[in-house]
A and B are shown apart, each in its own frame.
Chain A
Amino acid sequence: MSHSVDNALDKALSGPAFEKRIKRRNLRDYLSKIGISVGGLGIIGAVMLIMFFLFYVVLPLFVPAHIEKHQTFALPGGANETTLYYGVDEYQTSGLRFTQSGNAYGFDLVKGGATSQEMLPLNGAQITSFTVVNELKSIIAFGLSTGEILVAQYGYSVTYPNNVKTITPKVTYPFGEEPIKLADGVIEHLAVRESDSEVRIVYQIKDSAEIKVMLFSKVESMLSDSVQLEEDTDGSLMASLPTQWLLLDSLGRNLYNIDADGKVEYIDLSDVSTPQVIEQVELLQDDKPSVVRFLLGDYSIMVGTEKGKVYQWFPVRQADNSFKLQRIREFDVSQSAITSIGIEKARKGFAVTDADGQFHLLHSTAHRYLGTEQAADVSLTRVVMAPRANGALVETAKGDLVHYMIENEHPDVSLESLWGKVWYEGYEEPSYTWQSSSASSDFEPKFSLMPLTWGTIKAALYSMLFAVPIAILAAIYTAFFMDRQTRQWVKPSVEMIEALPTVILGFLAGLWLAPHMEANLPGFFAIFVVLPLGIILFGYGWTKLPKAIRQKVPVGRRAVLMIPVIIFLGWFALQLSSPLENAFFNGDMRHWLTYSAGIDFDQRNAMVIGFAMGFALIPTIFSVAEDAIYNVPSYLVNGSLALGASGWQTLVGVVIPTASPGIFSAIMLGFGRGVGETMIVLMASGNTPLMNANLFEGMRTLSANLAVEMPEAEVASSHYRVLFLSGLVLFIFTFFFNTLAEVVRQRMRRKYGSL
């Protein structure tokens, strides 16, 4: 019998079919191993990818500009003429050079070399001065020897002969080809600004110290599209400095008369008929200006010096509402004299050339040095940036024009501008500002992560202030004193908060808690006094009760006893709201705060956040701390009790020191969660990027900011990358705190193991 079984077994376990099956099984095992390993590693890799992806998106912010010499060709029109202005089209295919002799030379930027030549309609007059009227629209003005000025505009036309896109530069005359007569005499210095309705002209006649201001209003001709100028008002002023540069700001309100030594006369032109000198300032010490011009927006004055520095100045409003010119930034660009400054047309970046033949790319607000190129071994005479800031033309003293291609996506962000105070144009002082977008077009985005980080920490700290005492004390009691039956339902119910969607907490905080808190402010403060006092009084009163009653509630059940007490105390504290308000705050604490104490009050404030987010943090802290205390070996406790220590003494002397790493990691975890929480702060913090610790004002946190701005951010823009950077900051923040907590916890586990 057994023999036949053995035989059958032998038969089944040998032979080709069996071998084949074994082979198949082994193959399957092998394939599974490979599959699971590849899959497992892939998934772990994908998870890690998150961090690397954040880095990958953020990195371009800090990469220097890539500058590449495209080609060099001879100056169109020759080197013996002085260039006044270069116009370059948006595609960097053509350009136009305006020279002192009144010629406009068109040239090709792709092949290099001149393509056309045109004479401006000067009617035989000489060009004696030149100014840029509007940098963005490429409107320029020439002052002539006949006391006239000619306003011209560079532009280009796009045509498709034979289906090939061809761009031809051209010159138009927005106010007609006929020069406008201003005065008799040679116009030596000129500054012109135009707005939708008017044109302001400031000029100085040769050999005269008088600066004249003229205001023209624009009149649209009925018959044609052309615009005529009609003289409106005028005024004049005797300059006390010999003019070298005459600069008029974008609104035509502020005029700067700068002499060759760098002294500036700051003139107020708000009333054209009576120009007022506001102040005289020395722009430079032991140095002389070599180039002076406006930055984009015609507000900041950039001063390039003989010693190779560039200074940024602009008028700043003072406490008494007057304006004063102030030095904002200093750029240590070169060893040799600055020869020219060219500006970007969409950002506050600029390019600088020096006498040593170097070409530098910088950004003013971010205070960044983006790159340097040796353009020639002789002095460079002029630099102009392409309209999209993706190229630059550099003119050398030996008559060459060098065309650079530039890749410079994010010059406007630097570590200094992200984390330091930045002095923005029009601001009274350097500040931490987050303002990523605005309705107006000539707006400079302000990316300071400081207010957001501050808001994040403020929100997390206020909620920790609320959560930590409650959670830790509750954990101590639950782990150490509570009896088993009560603990069995108390722990999961507190932990249930963790699962509660935070959007619900945010909704309740924003729409229910915030208005209630505003209405019963003193009551909420009273809770902090009434609750502890009431609890201690109740506890002490309990000892005075007859023993029969006391024994009905053992220590382990006290929490249940306290539930009605807590409800009563909370109700009582809120009832105190009105009496307190009447007694101390003239009947309205909010009003009192704002007007008597001078504290700003928002309905959605840090206190609301503290309560709501603190509530959300309780289970995180409670759960981990409770585990730590509960796991303290019982012989330590019993030993202490046996030596005569009271329950609390044992706890403070033995249990808590042993469990302290666990409690610490609980707090870290809670903090990590508070930093990253999004919905509660989004809905209940008011989302204003403020930087103060005021309990009654809101904040904007990194996470809420991401939720608000991310969907609108244009892909790959500076804004998009800065938002990713703030995500990365959040990631590192929480990763750090969680790792700290985890490492501490693991060490504690090992310690318990050895105990």
Chain B
Amino acid sequence: MIYKTKGYRIFTAFNYVFLAFLAFICVLPLIHILAVSLSGSAAASGNMVSLWPVDFTWDAYDKTMGNDNFIRSLLIAIQRTVLGTIISMGLLLCAAYGLSKYDEEFKGRKWYMWFFVFTMLFNGGIVPTYIIVTGLGLGDTIWSLVLPTAINAFNLILLLNFFRTSVPKSLEESAFIDGAGHFTIFLKIYLPISIPAIATVSLFTMVFHWNQWFDGLIYMTNERNYPLQTFLQSIVVKKDLSNVTDAQELKNMSQRTVESAQIFISALPMLVVYPFIQKYFVKGIVLGAEKE
């Protein structure tokens, strides 16, 4: 349908300009940070950089990649993301299989369901959680970053809804008649059919773990155990350089160009993957809206 009124054409022109401007505003801060990180340190600290590098240099990136603390926290972030996703997905997939059965087939399902859904409605808050996690001796270990957030009831419901809607009941029944048990059906029928859903929820979990910083801050007493986002928080946001003893390193890290390079490197994995995964995030919402 074409609208040829003059008013609508004027509106359309304004609309395009406005939306383009809006999109530009959204990425402008990132372009600025990138430009600063690639500029000479004198130009950067003199506030001469806006959206294009001045005195172009890779210097800040060399310094960042040569910083052992940065690299160590980067590796911890990768470790927590991989381990956290595997553990969380393993636990959720097993549970989702059981919970995807119907109440008449599986006595007790209702109780389990409420058990998990209740965690979406109520929680103990940070203080008791902190006391339990440290009380279990998990402080300063990777497990404090992986286990407390492993069970996400929302992701569990996404998976079980997917199981219910995409695995044909007839396929499962004929497998039962052929003598297959639950474990076989779960591994041989459910998991292969559900690869798209597994990929989607794994992506949610990976993005979550990559961006998570607060647990590192409270559970790690030794800064050497900080994952990347927590490290970045302590250096760039809270500007706590008290644990940096080396004078040269201190000078390097407080440089505006180096701070910007650290921010940009931390954002980079998301910048690279998000155009490919964005549609799954919308799908997650749609999945959640599907009825039983």
Whether A and B are associated in the same complex: the answer reads: no
Interface set of B (CB-CB < 8 Å, partner A): none
